[in-house]
Amino acid sequence: MRHLLSTQDLSRPDAVRILDTAAQMAATQSREIKKLPTLRGRTVVNLFYEDSTRTRISFETAAKRLSADVINFSAKGSSVSKGESLKDTALTLQAMGADAVVVRHQASGAPHVLAHAGWLDAAVVNAGDGTHQHPTQALLDAYTLRRHLSGTALAAPGASGPDDAAARGAGLDGRHVAIVGDVLHSRVARSNVHLLHTLGARVTLVAPPTLLPVGVQTWPCEVSYDLDATLAGDTAHGGPDAVMMLRVQRERMSGAGAGGGAFFPNPLEYSRKYGLDARRLGLLAEHAIVMHPGPMNRGLEISAQAADSPRAVIVEQVANGVAVRMAVLYLLLAGSDEAEVAGAPAAATAPLAAPVPTVERVPAS
Amino acid sequence: MSSAATTTYVLRGARPLGGEPVDLVLSGGVIAEVAAVGAASPTDAVVVDATDLVALPGLVDLHTHLREPGREDAETIESGTRAAAAGGFTAVHAMANTTPVADTAGVVEQVWRLGRDAGWVDVHPVGAVSVGLAGRQLAELGAMADSAARVRVFSDDGRCVDDPILMRRALEYVKAFDGVVAQHAQEPRLTEGAQMNEGVVSAELGLAGWPAVAEEAIIARDVLLAEHVGSRLHVCHLSTAGSVEIVRWAKGRGIDVTAEVTPHHLILTDELARGYDPTFKVNPPLRTAADVEAVREGLADGTIDIVATDHAPHAREDKDCEWAAAAFGMTGLETALSVVQQTMVDTGRMTWADVARVLSAAPARIGRIDTGERAQGRPLEVGEPANVTLVDPAARRVVDGAGQVTASTNTPFQGHDLPGAVVATFLRGRATVLDGAPVEAAEAQGVRA
């Protein structure tokens, strides 16, 4: 891996390697001293063209726990019309010697351009681009799913917690994940469809037809307009092992404000047909979990009962996000540099150096 | 005749429309003689070895963005018309979306005069349909028609005349001077924020979709309006299979509609958006392989009347950025003929005579520049204006944007190996291109109009 731009670029071994590395990273985070020296002397730039406090903090935490120097670059506005162009910003970061650039941008494909236009040598990590991809979100979702849907966690529902030992090396073969909500505008949905498919899971997208893209029929997933039927197992895939609720932008998407272009009549109707409430929670299998990438609209796509239920792993997703982002930064920046890992203090690197394989530098497609 | 080239040229062994070789003698601004090979030997003539070269009537582009006035950093009338000559053109229609907009007699006359002074091709300004391209109020169509520029083609190109009553009025009004409304068919509400063709690729890339129906709905409405008021309609750069079907239906009903396709829509598809390279961002967007096949078929069977370049030069910074921030458009004057050869001639779907029709005679007729002193799109016959393009169909060349004549580098064919090369272009007997390179007027000893 040279960059992480899209989950479509990840092979199954790539994806499993990232998840296994994330598990090792997570294990270090229960220690008294959480900081590893692995990326000492490296510079990670968080280049955020959109406000996203939670994603930025997650990447910042991940980089700092690996001892990287972190620079936060908040660049509002788009190129040409307002402010500095993406190209000039990239050249500036290049001149400052950034080793990795974590980019969040409102334009789909902006990270791809940063990675391939020849402006920058740094590894580029896509932290969400327009309505295209958000690969670390999908990876943390897959990581969370794998902990809860592998081995004993699944065999004895409710009896044991997440099973990290059984998860190692595993995919999500045969598991069924329902992704519910605004698929059309969701980079989270796009990233998850491809990654979960790569890992062997079956995916059902559930949304009103207005919130599904033309062309969705070519994606490796099923599509349903009926949340109740999907939750009740009345689909080709049976009932879901996990339900992932997507955020719906209330103001932009409905009612008078959106005019004739509204995607649904009003929030109440959306909630009635596609919201996860207490009744729908009861349709789920006993072991099934509830996920949300955040931030949630309580009362719109998810009710308080669902968000706060024991099935909800939403807070855990946030914690897993740090481990997954540590793994990604580690594999991009240090994964191919054995000498540097070996040279770090033994106590800290021991759990990492051995099992983490060398990552080949394969150009992203 | 206001033009009189002083040099006499003998185009030895040229094949008019790909037919049997002859000698074409260009003298006094007209085709003076068509003789057997080697038979023509006027005194003091410059002999051009045209063995194995196809002779076409000078090409006519109905859809060119010359960017002047306003965006001289992307192209000027001088650089754009020089590029046109290099591409084999002897006339271009300059689109109205300049700054200021070509919506008054003053602006169209300025463009016309600058084109005449440059002398590379005849520049026929297109007038805006509405004031400022705003789609609210008719521009002074009559004044532009009566000006020195003699405007006959009116278009808000870049924007659609979406208001049905404004479109109706424009269609009716231009009948008074045999004008035509050239519609950029794009329903605005269906394409708000649209970035690329809506389909499988847009769904994956997360780029806002531009549905085919946004084009087709406007074309369907406009052909019905044209039928109702008995007016002439021209459809700019149609790009979808459905649009071809609608135009075919309209022509079958006897509606007076003509249509154009761009070279890029004859060959490129939306798959090219996958690299997020804004070179491939264009309006209308690149469509699917099925659409490409449909427009080729439509061009071959005459449903689509002409190929027009929609040459849209852009300053480098407007393309050297993320997709959503980039400008729409690609250059085309210097690659159009090659693309038509590759997609239509080399595939056996069209003859060189068909090429002369779709790139010269028909666009000249639609623009009403096929008669009079400066007639274009005429047959290669004795007494006709000496507007001739010599093409080497056996040549191959690798396109390099930086090496092109146009001032901009946004060619979608960078690095492509294309067939065919323009060897020479003559505008009323003046060589504007010889040996594949533009010839300054002084060098050619030709006389400007």
Mean pLDDT (chain B, rounded): 96
Q: Which residues of A touch B317 (CB under 8 A)?
A: 80, 85
Question: Of B341, B366, B391, which residue is a domain's last?
Answer: B366
**How far is B154 from B174, CA to CA, in rounded Å?**
9
Residues 6+ apart with CB under 8 A from B433: B85, B86, B88, B422, B423, B424, B425, B439
Residues 6+ apart with CB under 8 A from B393: B18, B54, B341, B345, B419, B420
B63 annotated binding-site participant: yes
* Chain A residue at shortest CA distance from B200: A215
A3-51 pLDDT, tens digit each: 999 999 999 999 999 999 999 999 998 888 999 999 999 999 999 998 8
Per the CB < 8 A criterion, the answer to whether A171 and A12 are in contact is yes
Per the CB < 8 A criterion, the answer to whether A52 and A76 are in contact is no
- Out of B203, B209, B325, whose CB is closest to A107? B325
Main-chain phi, psi angles of A269, to 5 degrees: -65, -40
Confidence of residue B353 (pLDDT cuts 50, 70, 90): very high
Cβ burial, residue A272 (10 Å; 0-12/13-18/19+): exposed
In CATH, the architecture of A7-133+318-353 is: 3-Layer(aba) Sandwich (3.40)
Q: Quick check: is B376 in a domain? A: no
For residues B237 and B325, membership in a common domain is answered with: yes
Q: Quick check: is B425 in a domain? A: yes
User: Residue A350: pLDDT above 60?
Assistant: no
Question: What is this model's ipTM?
Answer: 0.86
For residues B152 and B229, membership in a common domain is answered with: yes
Catalogue the active-site residues of B. 310
Check A215 against B205: CB less than 8 A apart: no
pLDDT of residue A295: 92
pLDDT of residue B391: 98
CATH of the domain at B30: 2.30.40.10
Chain A interface includes B324 (CB < 8 A): yes
Cβ burial, residue B411 (10 Å; 0-12/13-18/19+): buried
Q: Taking residues B163-187, what's their average pLDDT? A: 98
Element (H, E) at A16: helix A12-28
CA distance from start to end of chain B: 9
For residues B401 and B348, membership in a common domain is answered with: no
Q: Where are the domains of chain A?
A: 7-133+318-353, 136-316
For residues B352 and B408, membership in a common domain is answered with: no
A189-222 pLDDT, tens digit each: 999 999 999 999 999 999 999 999 999 999 999 9
Q: Which residues of B touch A80 (CB under 8 A)?
A: 317-318, 321, 325
* Chain B residue at shortest CA distance from A84: B321
Q: Quick check: is B121 in a domain? A: yes
Q: Which residues of B touch A79 (CB under 8 A)?
A: 321-322, 325
Check B325 against A218: CB less than 8 A apart: no
Question: Of B366, B390, B407, which residue is a domain's last?
Answer: B366
Q: Which residues of A touch B318 (CB under 8 A)?
A: 80
Residues 6+ apart with CB under 8 A from B89: B58, B59, B60, B61, B121, B333, B389, B425
Select A136-316's CATH number: 3.40.50.300, 3.40.50.1370, 1.20.120.420, 1.10.10.10: 3.40.50.1370
**How far is B62 from A281, CA to CA, in rounded Å?**
63
Per the CB < 8 A criterion, the answer to whether B358 and B305 are in contact is yes
pLDDT of residue A79: 46
Q: Which residues of A are annotated as a binding site for carbamoyl phosphate?
A: 54-55, 104, 134, 137, 294-295
For residues B33 and B99, membership in a common domain is answered with: no
For residues B128 and B265, membership in a common domain is answered with: yes
For residues B346 and B210, membership in a common domain is answered with: yes
pLDDT of residue A346: 36
- State the sign of the Cα–Cα–Cα–Cα dihedral A158, A161, A166, A171: positive
pLDDT of residue A287: 93
In the block, residue with structure tokens 């297109």:
B126
Check A108 against B211: CB less than 8 A apart: no
For residues B49 and B78, membership in a common domain is answered with: no
User: Residue B306: pLDDT above 70?
Assistant: yes
**How far is B269 from B337, CA to CA, in rounded Å?**
19
**How far is A127 from A4, CA to CA, in rounded Å?**
9
Check B207 against A112: CB less than 8 A apart: no
Determine if the peptide bond prior to B69 is cis (ω within 30°).
yes
Q: Taking residues B439-443, what's their average pLDDT? A: 81
- Out of B275, B318, B322, whose CB is closest to A110? B322
User: Residue A363: pLDDT above 60?
Assistant: no
Per the CB < 8 A criterion, the answer to whether B399 and B416 are in contact is yes
**How far is B412 from B277, CA to CA, in rounded Å?**
10
**How far is A304 from B208, CA to CA, in rounded Å?**
33
Element (H, E) at B12: strand B8-16
Check B321 against A79: CB less than 8 A apart: yes
Q: Quick check: is B374 in a domain? A: no
CATH of the domain at B113: 3.20.20.140
Cβ burial, residue B396 (10 Å; 0-12/13-18/19+): exposed
**How far is A335 from B301, CA to CA, in rounded Å?**
59
For residues B266 and B349, membership in a common domain is answered with: yes
**How far is B410 from B309, CA to CA, in rounded Å?**
13
Question: Of B316, B338, B366, which residue is a domain's last?
Answer: B366
Tell me which of B290 and A167 has the higher pLDDT.
B290
Q: Which residues of A are annotated as a binding site for L-aspartate?
A: 82, 187, 247
Domain that holds residue B417: 8-55+381-444
For residues B396 and B331, membership in a common domain is answered with: no
Q: How far is A85 from chain B (nearest CA, A)?
A: 7
Q: b/e map of A32-70 (b: 16 or more CB within 10 Å)?
A: eeeebbbbbebbbbbbbbbebeebbebbbbbbbbbbbeb
pLDDT of residue A364: 41
For residues B361 and B417, membership in a common domain is answered with: no
pLDDT of residue B42: 85
* Chain B residue at shortest CA distance from A79: B325
Q: b/e map of B427-444 (b: 16 or more CB within 10 Å)?
A: bbbbbbbbeeebbebeeb
- Out of A113, A117, A190, whose CB is closest to B206? A190
Cβ burial, residue A295 (10 Å; 0-12/13-18/19+): exposed
Check B206 against A106: CB less than 8 A apart: no
B203-238 pLDDT, tens digit each: 999 999 999 999 999 999 999 999 999 999 999 999
Q: Taking residues A89-118, what's their average pLDDT? A: 95
What domain count does chain B have? 2
Q: Quick check: is B375 in a domain? A: no
pLDDT of residue A342: 34
Q: Please tell me if the domain spanning A7-133+318-353 has the same topology as the one spanning A136-316.
A: yes
In the block, residue with structure tokens 């006027």:
B42
Minimal CA–CA distance to B362: which of B230, B151, B180? B180
Per the CB < 8 A criterion, the answer to whether B62 and B180 are in contact is no
**How far is B201 from B266, CA to CA, in rounded Å?**
19
For residues B343 and B225, membership in a common domain is answered with: yes
Chain A interface includes B207 (CB < 8 A): yes
Best of B192, B276, B287, B318 to disrupt the A interface by mutation (most A CBs within 10 Å)?
A: B276
Per the CB < 8 A criterion, the answer to whether B198 and B221 are in contact is no
- Rg over CA atoms, chain B: 21
Check A215 against B321: CB less than 8 A apart: no
How many contacts, defined by CB atoms under 8 Å, are there between A and B?
Answer: 92
Check B192 against A261: CB less than 8 A apart: yes
Main-chain phi, psi angles of B207, to 5 degrees: -100, 135
User: Residue A336: pLDDT above 80?
Assistant: no
